[in-house]
């Protein structure tokens, strides 16, 4: 019965710092990693389709679904009247109806759902509904919303010193304007939920979500049942990127309501076009500024306005727009700042979390400002960037009052300048441009300093649950979700390291609200920081119990018991790990423990917009070199060099993968990925045919990615590592800056400031080159 | 309803299907071979790539009846028992995946490519993978994996 795991001599495998492959790699390469749509459906499963508004802003004067109900294969039609509880899935404010009631506020808004034998029948039947509208004036763009004073939330100002006076007294002054486009997540696996009805009105929802607890809460409210009656589970997602933080709830709720109404399992899977139309995206921003600086390019004061297209509801826009303000400084000291953030309400889909969470837009603004300052002064933008970096006391406090304690940026940039051969290449680019009238090259180095923690302080908590079984195998569960980022692999390595056993003995299990409750979203790059610590705490509790058992056996003190090499040792004796676990069982010692972690030190006062919202910063920098064709606007990224700070990495291979993928995703955001809404608020780029994410050929042939060495986190994070999910995305800003550098080379006047908005599509590049 | 007979991963299967049944539906829904994924539904992302008579095709825009009488290989049919196909091993070894959703299609495209390109340049590999989208990795490790897998297949 007690089949002990084989003990292998030598060091345990899969400890922290090892470049282990992703835990699911073998399943993923053989097609045996199950995503939600791959789970064997229970008998009787029905499928759902969600009918959508075709108007951006209108009163619904008639919604007649009689013909839908009698269509072939249809089992039920769900409207607002069929919601047993609250007809809302708003994550912060109650402003996201499950089904529209009388009013629609964006094209793609959910009107009703059809439950049928299969989705094809459901989709066909949905067309039979009679929907009549009385159109209302629609605000589609940020500018229209600003002009109308239309906001989802009050505006917020971040202020330090007297910016107006500082600007007025500065030797130089520039004003500017930048449009920054949004971005579709384009996770390869679209939104999907499978709802399974249980007894007592319970429901289990298998859902592709980064936030199982929130889905659980919102489904419970929609069903009017206690939260404990709902279980949400996710083993893995086919990508998330923030798009499955709040956006999964609507579809989970509809599936759950369908399960309640029909008593059958309900699958709701969006096809790609519906997914792109119905779900929120990265906020597009409009920024304007007035900046004062000296002849060296040092900033004296900055007044800025950041307006975000939030869409029709608040979603997470408050925290996202706050984070844009928190990153308006990026890596730079700005003595006097007054920055206002407007959260514009438009009649478009409600924008949401996306890797970086507003930070990228804030950084784009300051990087453009420094680019302008440098060009105005005819200096190399890199030189101006370096002069403005955070420094020693007096230049080390952010506009929101947080001291930058571990500023590695000056050294990091110096290292990257050296390794990338920046100076020689700057000269080579100038020589190339002098010699070539048609093709022009551009080069740019941009830094990233990104704050790590949820800025909503209470979210910075995590839980884990570990069971030990008598054969020494370990069952690991925590509140984090796996979306490809390698979280499960890293946390398993943490646990394996605590017990000193091979990571293969740690069974990684699906995230479920039934095991670890009240979790935060796997977001804000915080997954391994928080869940790693929580799992470590659970493992340490169990280790202490095992040490007592082993100490009694060995005749030594518990604190002298060591866990390593798949063995437990003390004095001159040792036992296999599994043997000790078995002895603990017979000694009637509990072999199950929870673990809990809350991030220390952080606090923030929303009213004064000051505090320490971040536990620490992650740093990085990238050099991009591009070539543009001035006849067509087409371009290539020729080379990218990246140096990124992961602290003491838990798994260097996984972290490098995050850096590479984040950089390319950031490049896509600022170059080829263009969301086009027409005048009626219809998204015209709702499939990969028209919405272009980077393909394999867009990646530079020369792509050098290095992790910063010998830089453990100065804070006691999990094994002194640093979060890596979001920060590398903003390294892609270097590509945008390099494109502008190439565009600037078409002007005779070196002080020209070409107008180039993001995304810098070939059309925009062509329009921006010298007339 | 038409009847199709398709040899899937070496086993002949005969089923009655609606004429409009897509090959990917046939594989996923009729045969429970869920390793072949649907990412975009419109033959652009490549998550659904399988081999029909040895050639990589996108199964989300191929009808099952078009594959009648053919031999289809899916990601589940690539490994030899517990031994991974060299291309599968290369993707695992070189971290050529993150969320893994694009991986089956990526590997099936790469295997077809490697059969016909014994000693490709990196540029040729990139060109070959243009019809397979990955949102996670930035492709860097995928290209490395395909290079290694191609070498192993032809070694």
CB-based contact B88 A30, cutoff 8 Å = yes
- Say yes or no: B90 and B148 in one domain: yes
Q: In a 10 Å sphere around its CB, with 0-12 CB exposed, 13-18 middle and 19+ buried, how is residue A645 labelled?
A: buried
Question: Does the pLDDT value for residue A69 go beyond 80?
Answer: yes
- Say yes or no: A271 and A329 in one domain: no
**Mean pLDDT calculated for residue range A126-130:** 98
B126 Cβ partners below 8 Å, 6+ apart?
A696, A697, A699, B139, B143
- Say yes or no: A230 and A245 in one domain: yes
- Kind of pairing between the strands at A172-180 and A511-512: unpaired
For residue A272, what is the domain's CATH number?
A: 3.30.365.10
Q: What is the mean pLDDT of chain A?
A: 97
- Say yes or no: A224 and A297 in one domain: no
- Say yes or no: A555 and A692 in one domain: no
pLDDT computed for residue A2 by the predictor? 38
CB-based contact A236 B99, cutoff 8 Å = yes
Q: Among B51, B77, B103, identify where a domain stops.
A: B77
Q: Which two tokens stand for residue A270?
A: 């969006």
Q: Among A219, A247, A278, identify where a domain stops.
A: A278
**Mean pLDDT calculated for residue range A418-436:** 98
Q: Tell whether A665 lies on the interface with B, counting CB pairs under 8 A.
A: yes
Those of residues 30-59 in B touching chain A at CB distance below 8 A are 32-42, 44-45, 47
Question: Does the pLDDT value for residue A571 go beyond 90?
Answer: yes
pLDDT digits (tens, 9 = 90+) for A430-463: 999 999 999 999 999 999 999 999 999 999 999 9
A278 Cβ partners below 8 Å, 6+ apart?
A50, A52, A108, A109, A110, A191, A250, A270, A349
Domain span holding position B100: 86-153
Q: How far is A648 from chain B (nearest CA, A)?
A: 20
Q: Among B25, B53, B77, identify where a domain stops.
A: B77
Residue with tokens 């408050």: A318
- Say yes or no: A584 and A645 in one domain: no
Question: Does the pLDDT value for residue A161 go beyond 60?
Answer: yes
For chain A, what is the domain count? 3
Which residue of A30, A662, A688 is in closest CB contact with B133?
A688
Q: Tell whether B140 lies on the interface with A, counting CB pairs under 8 A.
A: yes
C-alpha to C-alpha distance for A722 and A132, rounded to whole angstroms: 53
Instruction: Give the number of other CB atoms < 10 A from CB of residue A629.
Output: 17
Q: Tell whether B65 lies on the interface with A, counting CB pairs under 8 A.
A: no
- Say yes or no: B129 and B90 in one domain: yes
C-alpha to C-alpha distance for A732 and A444, rounded to whole angstroms: 11
pLDDT computed for residue A10 by the predictor? 82
Chain A CA closest to residue B45: A688
Contact A426, A443 (CB under 8 A): yes
CA dihedral A571, A573, A579, A584 (to 10 degrees): -30
- When pLDDT is cut at 50, 70 and 90, the band that residue A382 belongs to is very high
Hey, of B98, B131, B137, B152, which one would you mutate to test binding to chain A, going by the most A CBs within 10 A of its CB? B98
- Say yes or no: B70 and B101 in one domain: no
Question: Does the pLDDT value for residue A1 go beyond 50?
Answer: no
- Percent of chain B having pLDDT more than 70? 100
Exposure b/e, A699-721, CB count within 10 A at least 16 = b: bbeebebebbeebebebebbbbb
pLDDT computed for residue A5 by the predictor? 53
**Catalytic residue flag (residue A726):** yes
- When pLDDT is cut at 50, 70 and 90, the band that residue A3 belongs to is very low
- Say yes or no: B106 and B149 in one domain: yes
Could you tell me if residue A105 is inside a domain?
yes
CA dihedral A204, A210, A216, A217 (to 10 degrees): -170
Contact A532, A487 (CB under 8 A): no
Could you tell me if residue A360 is inside a domain?
yes
Instruction: Give the number of other CB atoms < 10 A from CB of residue A39.
Output: 15
- Say yes or no: B57 and B120 in one domain: no
- Say yes or no: B21 and B45 in one domain: yes
- Say yes or no: A366 and A302 in one domain: yes
pLDDT computed for residue A414 by the predictor? 98
* Residues in chain B closer than 8 A to A271 (CB atoms): 41
**Mean pLDDT calculated for residue range A457-483:** 97
pLDDT digits (tens, 9 = 90+) for A280-306: 999 999 999 999 999 999 999 999 999
pLDDT computed for residue B155 by the predictor? 84
Model's pTM, two decimal places? Answer: 0.97
- Say yes or no: A12 and A109 in one domain: no
pLDDT computed for residue A7 by the predictor? 60
- Say yes or no: B41 and B7 in one domain: yes
> 3-class SS at A158?
strand
- When pLDDT is cut at 50, 70 and 90, the band that residue A472 belongs to is very high
Q: How far is A700 from chain B (nearest CA, A)?
A: 9
Q: What is the mean pLDDT of chain B?
A: 97
- When pLDDT is cut at 50, 70 and 90, the band that residue A114 belongs to is very high
- When pLDDT is cut at 50, 70 and 90, the band that residue A6 belongs to is low
Q: Among A278, A310, A328, identify where a domain stops.
A: A278
pLDDT digits (tens, 9 = 90+) for B125-147: 999 999 999 999 999 999 999 99
Q: Tell whether A175 lies on the interface with B, counting CB pairs under 8 A.
A: no
Question: Does the pLDDT value for residue B14 go beyond 90?
Answer: yes
pLDDT computed for residue A9 by the predictor? 73
- Say yes or no: A411 and A270 in one domain: no
- When pLDDT is cut at 50, 70 and 90, the band that residue A593 belongs to is very high
Q: Tell whether B151 lies on the interface with A, counting CB pairs under 8 A.
A: no
- Say yes or no: A211 and A295 in one domain: no
CB-based contact B101 A188, cutoff 8 Å = yes
- Say yes or no: A104 and A230 in one domain: yes
Domain span holding position A663: 285-392+406-455+606-768
For residue B124, what is the domain's CATH number?
A: 1.10.150.120
Could you tell me if residue A400 is inside a domain?
no
Question: Does the pLDDT value for residue B150 go beyond 50?
Answer: yes
Question: Does the pLDDT value for residue A86 go beyond 90?
Answer: yes
- Say yes or no: A289 and A270 in one domain: no
> 3-class SS at A572?
coil
**Mean pLDDT calculated for residue range A327-334:** 98
pLDDT digits (tens, 9 = 90+) for A345-372: 999 999 999 999 999 999 999 999 999 9
Q: Tell whether A747 lies on the interface with B, counting CB pairs under 8 A.
A: no
For chain B, what is the domain count? 2
Choice among A189, A233, A553, A726 that is catalytic? A726
pLDDT digits (tens, 9 = 90+) for A662-717: 999 999 999 999 999 999 999 999 999 999 999 999 999 899 999 999 999 999 99
- Say yes or no: B105 and B66 in one domain: no
Those of residues 7-26 in B touching chain A at CB distance below 8 A are none
Q: Tell whether A397 lies on the interface with B, counting CB pairs under 8 A.
A: no
- Say yes or no: B100 and B143 in one domain: yes
Hey, of B72, B106, B131, B136, which one would you mutate to test binding to chain A, going by the most A CBs within 10 A of its CB? B136
For residue A253, the surrounding DSSP H or E stretch is: helix A248-262
For residue B22, what is the domain's CATH number?
A: 3.10.20.30
CB-based contact A661 B136, cutoff 8 Å = yes
For residue B148, the surrounding DSSP H or E stretch is: helix B140-154
- Say yes or no: A85 and A200 in one domain: yes
**Mean pLDDT calculated for residue range B26-31:** 97
Beta-bridge mates of residue A64? A130
CB-based contact B45 A688, cutoff 8 Å = yes
| Cα-Cα end-to-end distance for chain B | 46
**Mean pLDDT calculated for residue range A187-192:** 98
Chain centroid to CA A500: 32
Q: Among A598, A628, A645, identify where a domain stops.
A: A598
Q: How many CA atoms lie within 13 A of B42 on its CB side?
A: 11
pLDDT computed for residue A649 by the predictor? 98
Q: How far is A725 from chain B (nearest CA, A)?
A: 11
């Amino acid at each position: 019965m007690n089949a002990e795991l084989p003990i292998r001599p030598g060091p345990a495998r899969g400890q922290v710092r090892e470049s282990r492959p992703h835990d699911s790699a073998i399943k993923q390469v053989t097609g045996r990693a199950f995503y939600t749509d791959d789970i064997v459906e229970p008998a009787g499963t029905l499928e759902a389709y969600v009918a959508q508004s075709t108007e951006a802003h209108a009163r619904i004067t008639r919604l007649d679904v009689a013909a839908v109900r009698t269509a072939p294969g249809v089992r039920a039609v769900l409207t607002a009247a069929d919601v047993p509880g609250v007809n809302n899935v708003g994550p912060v404010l109650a402003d996201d109806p499950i089904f529209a009631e009388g009013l629609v506020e964006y094209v793609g808004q959910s009107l009703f759902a059809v439950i049928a034998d299969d989705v094809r029948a459901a989709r066909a039947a949905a067309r039979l509904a009679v929907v009549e509208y009385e159109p209302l004036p629609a605000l589609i763009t940020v500018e229209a919303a600003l002009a109308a004073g239309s906001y989802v939330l009050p505006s917020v100002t971040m202020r330090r010193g007297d910016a107006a006076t500082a600007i007025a007294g500065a030797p130089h002054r520039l004003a500017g304007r930048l449009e920054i486009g949004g971005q579709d997540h384009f996770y390869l696996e679209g939104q999907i939920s499978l709802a399974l009805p249980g007894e007592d009105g319970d429901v289990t929802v298998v859902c592709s979500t980064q936030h199982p607890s929130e889905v659980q809460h919102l489904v419970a409210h929609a069903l009017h049942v206690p939260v404990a009656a709902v279980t949400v589970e996710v083993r893995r997602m086919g990508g998330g990127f923030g798009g499955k933080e709040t956006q999964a709830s609507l579809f989970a709720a509809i599936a759950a309501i369908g399960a309640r109404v029909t008593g059958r399992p309900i699958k709701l899977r969006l096809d790609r076009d519906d997914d792109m139309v119905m779900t929120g995206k990265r906020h597009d921003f409009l920024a304007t500024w007035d900046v004062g600086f000296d002849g060296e390019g040092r900033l004296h004061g900055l007044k800025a306005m950041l307006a975000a297209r939030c869409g029709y509801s608040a979603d997470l826009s408050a925290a996202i727009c706050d984070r844009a303000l928190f990153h308006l400084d990026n890596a730079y000291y700005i003595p006097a700042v007054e920055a206002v953030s407007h959260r514009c309400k438009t009649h478009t889909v409600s924008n949401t979390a996306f890797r970086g969470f507003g930070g990228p837009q804030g950084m784009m603004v300051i990087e453009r400002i420094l680019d302008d300052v440098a060009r105005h002064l005819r200096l190399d933008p890199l030189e101006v960037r370096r002069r403005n970096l955070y420094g020693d006391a007096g230049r080390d406090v952010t506009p929101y009052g947080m001291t930058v304690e571990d500023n590695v940026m000056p050294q990091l940039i110096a290292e990257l300048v050296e390794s990338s051969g920046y100076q020689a290449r700057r000269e080579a680019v100038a020589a190339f441009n002098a010699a070539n009238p048609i093709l022009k090259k551009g080069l740019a180095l941009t830094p990233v300093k990104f704050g790590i923690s949820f800025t909503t302080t209470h979210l910075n908590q995590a839980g884990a649950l570990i069971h030990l079984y008598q054969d020494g195998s370990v069952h690991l569960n925590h509140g984090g979700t796996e979306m490809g980022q390698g979280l499960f692999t890293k946390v398993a390595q943490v646990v394996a390291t605590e017990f000193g056993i091979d990571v293969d003995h740690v069974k990684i299990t699906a995230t479920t609200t039934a095991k670890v409750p009240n979790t935060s979203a796997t977001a804000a790059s915080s997954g391994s920081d928080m869940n790693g610590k929580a799992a470590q705490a659970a493992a340490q509790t169990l280790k202490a119990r095992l040490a007592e058992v082993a100490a009694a056996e060995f005749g030594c003190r518990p604190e002298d018991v060591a866990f390593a090499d798949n063995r437990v040792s003390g004095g001159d004796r040792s036992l296999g790990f599994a043997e000790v676990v078995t002895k603990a069982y017979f000694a009637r010692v509990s072999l199950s423990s929870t673990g809990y972690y809350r991030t220390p030190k952080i606090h923030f006062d929303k009213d004064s917009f000051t505090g320490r919202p971040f536990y620490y910063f992650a740093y990085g920098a990238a050099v991009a070199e591009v070539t543009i064709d001035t006849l067509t606007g087409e371009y290539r990224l020729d080379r990218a060099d990246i140096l990124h700070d992961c602290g003491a990495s838990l798994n260097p291979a996984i972290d490098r993968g995050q850096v590479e993928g984040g950089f390319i995703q950031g490049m896509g955001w600022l170059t080829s990925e263009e969301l086009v809404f027409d005048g009626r608020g219809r998204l015209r780029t709702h499939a990969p045919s028209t919405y272009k994410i980077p393909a394999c050929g867009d990646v530079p042939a020369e792509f050098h990615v290095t992790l910063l060495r010998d830089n453990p986190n100065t804070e006691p994070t999990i094994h002194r590592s640093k979060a890596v999910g979001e920060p590398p995305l903003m390294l892609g800003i270097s590509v945008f800056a390099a494109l502008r550098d190439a565009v600037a080379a078409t002007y005779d006047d070196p002080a020209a400031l070409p107008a180039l908005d993001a995304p810098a599509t070939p059309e925009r590049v062509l329009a921006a080159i010298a007339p | 309803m038409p009847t199709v007979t398709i040899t899937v991963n070496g086993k002949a299967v005969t089923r009655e299907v609606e004429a409009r049944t897509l090959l990917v539906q046939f594989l996923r829904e009729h045969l429970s071979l869920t390793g072949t994924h649907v990412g975009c539904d419109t033959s652009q992302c490549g998550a659904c790539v399988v081999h029909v008579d040895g050639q990589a095709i996108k199964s989300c825009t191929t009808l099952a009846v078009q594959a009648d009488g053919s031999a289809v290989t899916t990601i589940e049919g690539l490994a030899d028992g517990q031994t991974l196909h060299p291309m599968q091993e290369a993707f695992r070894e070189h971290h050529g995946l993150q969320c893994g959703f694009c991986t089956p299609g990526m590997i099936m495209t790469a295997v077809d490519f490697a059969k016909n390109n014994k000693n490709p340049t990196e540029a040729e590999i990139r060109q070959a993978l243009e019809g397979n989208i990955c949102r996670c990795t930035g492709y860097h490790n995928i290209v490395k994996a395909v290079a290694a897998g191609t070498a192993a297949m032809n070694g």
